[in-house]
Structure 1
Amino acid sequence: MTHIRKPDWLKIQIGTNARYTETKRIVDTHKLHTICSSGRCPNLGECWGKGTATFMIGGAICTRSCKFCNTQTGRPLPLDPEEPLRVAQSIQLMKLDHAVITSVDRDDLKDLGASHWAATLMAIRKLCPDTTIEALIPDFQGHSELLQQVIETRPDILSHNLETVRRLSPQVRSVADYDTSLKVIRQIAENGLKAKSGIMVGLGETIEEVEETMDDLLQNGCQILTIGQYLQPTAKHYPVAEYIHPDQFKKFKEIGEAKGFEIVESGPLVRSSYHAEKHLRRQ
């Protein structure tokens, strides 16, 4: 496929203020895995400059090999039983008002990492009672009883990314299934939690397919949606089909809000946790 030149609106500036430096020091000192780094998030500078970060639990190695994701894949190490407390202590040290937690997929574990998830969220609740929590979870292979373990910790927002439109899902995601992800969103919403999801564009989807995806999410109780430009991490990953113009992202936001989403974050550099701290304040 012919290489597509990256447009000017996707240029990224890395923050270098004191808050960025302090956030980086805490992450490095406490040996935390952040999706900010491993996912090469374009907003790392902005978020770390505000003293916020998305913590990735369960180790740094994912059992899946999705074609869009830069997280290392392979055979993970055993879970660190001290990680839940260490994450909570770091959130406390950083004095975060809102914390975002995500994880690698741990299909190697009997419970797919659900109990580790629950332990981490409960540790944060205990040590940082004033910190609101967003959990960006895997699909737990669609096992509702495992998802329920996380739901019962009652994070303020529970998020699961659909990633792309139905047609492209098998090409882009290695194990996850479009309908299984919708089932996860539905169970979250049925339990009275704020349900959130995110998709990437620029993979070859049509505008009509994006709108159909919005409808699918809404029908399953999703209230918050993020839409961002897919950026190919390396030459081995799924190629970018198109760089979507910022004007189209504005249209996606307008369409999503008109359809009924409470919040739509839509822009070239938007990622799952972009402006996450604002999503509760705006309810």
Structure 2
Amino acid sequence: MSHRTAAPRLPDWVRRSIGTASQVSTVEKIIKQRQLHTICEEGRCPNRAECYAQKTATFLLMGPVCTRACGFCQVTSGRALPLDPDEPEKVAESVALLGLRYVVLTSVARDDLADQGAGWFARTMAAIRERNPGVAIEVLTPDFRGDENCIATVVAARPVCFNHNIETVRRLQNYARKAASYERSLAVLATVRRLDPAIATKSGLMLGHGETHEEVVQTLADLRTIGCERVTIGQYLQPSRAHLPVQRYWTPAEFAELEAAARELGFAHVRSGPLVRSSYHAGEPE
């Protein structure tokens, strides 16, 4: 599949304003003053205005540079930066200032670290809870190269939800995310379920790489087979010409059909729509 394929015209249903200064100023000020990062900005999430207006954000741990280079991802790849020893406490302080009750922590892949950053997730969660008792924390992790010890470290920190995105269907894994694999992503979620069944598991798909409806439904079925309970399904939007092109835009009606299919398969929590992203309305009940 060539990167030179001409992308179809951007339809109206995936156009959204990035928001006004008044909507983003409070969150941006708190985050930037502490030299923190959010996936909202680094990933150019189309929902960041909505989330910022509600004073919510998904914290991106361990710097803005990823050691992997997935063809769809906006986050910068390259040589990772040294860890900021004060980051866990800065995140905890930001959570307090924003008055968050539900926090999402994600990170770049840190294949350069001995524990791939698993301990940093745990340390940040502990710092948040020390300053913000009762806060619920969801994690969105890389695959930790399938290392069960790394997964166990995060599980032991007891997030309310452990999210790891499978991203695309089996056939397109090597095309979209060469450093990961379909089976490994399934294994990460299966390991979480085995280590602590009380922790909800979650995954996400980004459509538009050339997958078929049948392939998406099969992926949902595979996720359910290993016990995944929550799923997000959204439209891939090409961040720049250097990234993978959009093969096609799925319609809102098609996303509705996939939501119905996911619920029929038994998912307890489903978010499916063109602008849905991994953390979209993450803390809201069904």
Alignment partners' CA distance in 2, 1:35 and 1:265: 18
Letter in 1 for 2:56: T
Give, as a single letter, the amino acid of the residue that structure 2 aligns with 1:253: E
1:88-132 Cα deviation digits (max 9, x unpaired): 111111100111110000001111111111111111122111211
**Match of 2:101?**
97
Aligned residue number for residue 255 of structure 1: 261
Match status 1:276 vs 2:282: yes
Matched, 1:242 2:251: no
Superposition deviation, residue 27 in structure 1: 1.4
1:229 paired to 2:250 = no
Question: Which segment is superposed worse, 250-259 or 26-35?
Answer: 26-35
Kindly indicate whether residue 203 of structure 2 is the aligned counterpart of residue 194 of structure 1. no
Contact 2:107/2:141 (8 A) holds in 1 = yes
Q: Using the alignment, how far apart are the partners of 1:72 and 1:237 within structure 2?
A: 12
1:82 alignment partner in structure 2: 86
- Alignment partner, residue 107 of structure 1: 111
Write the distance in 2 (CA, Å) between the matches of 1:9 and 1:77: 37
* C-alpha contact 1:17 1:49 (8 A) present in aligned 2: no
The question of whether the paired residues in 1 share the 8 Å contact of 2:118 and 2:153 is answered with: yes
Query: Under a length normalisation based on structure 2, what TM-score does the superposition of the two structures give?
Result: 0.96
State the partner residue of 2:180.
Answer: 176
The CA deviation at 1:195 is 0.1
SS in 2 for 1:9: helix
CA distance in 2, matches of 1:181, 1:11: 30
Q: CA deviation at 1:174?
A: 2.8
Bigger shift: residues 6-15 or 44-53: 6-15
Per the TM alignment, residue 146 of structure 1 is displaced from its structure 2 partner at its CA by 0.9
Secondary structure in 2 matching 1:167: helix
Q: How does 1:116-127 map to 2 (within 5 A)?
A: 116-127=120-131
User: In structure 2, how many angstroms separate the alpha carbons of the residues matched to 1:48 and 1:135?
Assistant: 19
Among 224, 237, 240, the alignment partner of 1:218 is: 224
1:50 aligns with 2:54: yes
Q: 2:93 and 2:107 mapped to 1: Cα distance?
A: 18
Determine which of 153, 156, 171 is the counterpart of 1:152. Answer: 156
Change (3 A) 1:217 1:150: same
Amino acid at match of 1:181: S
**TM-aligned CA deviation for residue 213 of structure 1:** 0.2
Letter in 2 for 1:244: W
Residue aligned with 2:127, SS: helix
Is 1:136 matched up with 2:140?
yes
Q: Quote the residue 1:205 is aligned against.
A: 211
Question: What SS does the aligned partner of 1:168 have?
Answer: helix
Q: TM-score, normalised by structure 1?
A: 0.97
Unaligned runs of 5+ in 2: none
AA aligned opposite 2:204 = G
Rounded to whole Å, the distance in 2 between the matches of 1:109 and 1:69 is: 21
Q: Report SS of the residue matched to 1:150.
A: helix
Unaligned runs of 5+ residues in structure 1 are none
Question: CA offset at residue 30 of structure 1?
Answer: 1.4
| Aligned equivalent of 1:60 | 64
What is the CA RMSD across the aligned residues, in angstroms?
1.1
C-alpha distance in structure 1 between counterparts of 2:30 and 2:90, whole Å: 11
How many residues are aligned here? 280
Q: In structure 2, do the counterparts of structure 1 residues 260 and 15 end up closer, same or farther at CA, with 3 Å as the change threshold?
A: same
In structure 2, C-alpha distance between the alignment counterparts of 1:277 and 1:19, rounded to whole Å: 20
Structure 1 residue 17: Cα displacement: 7.0
Which residue identity is paired with 1:202? G
Looking at structure 2, the residues matched to 247 and 13 of structure 1 have their Cα atoms a distance apart, in angstroms, of 22
The 8 Å contact of residues 10 and 269 in structure 1, kept in 2 or not, is answered as yes
In the alignment, the residues of structure 2 paired with residue 176 and residue 88 of structure 1 have an alpha-carbon distance, to the nearest angstrom, of 31
Mapped pair 1:166 → 2:170: yes
Q: For the Cα contact (< 8 Å) 1:16–1:49, is it kept in 2?
A: no
For the residue of structure 1 that corresponds to 2:103, the secondary structure is strand
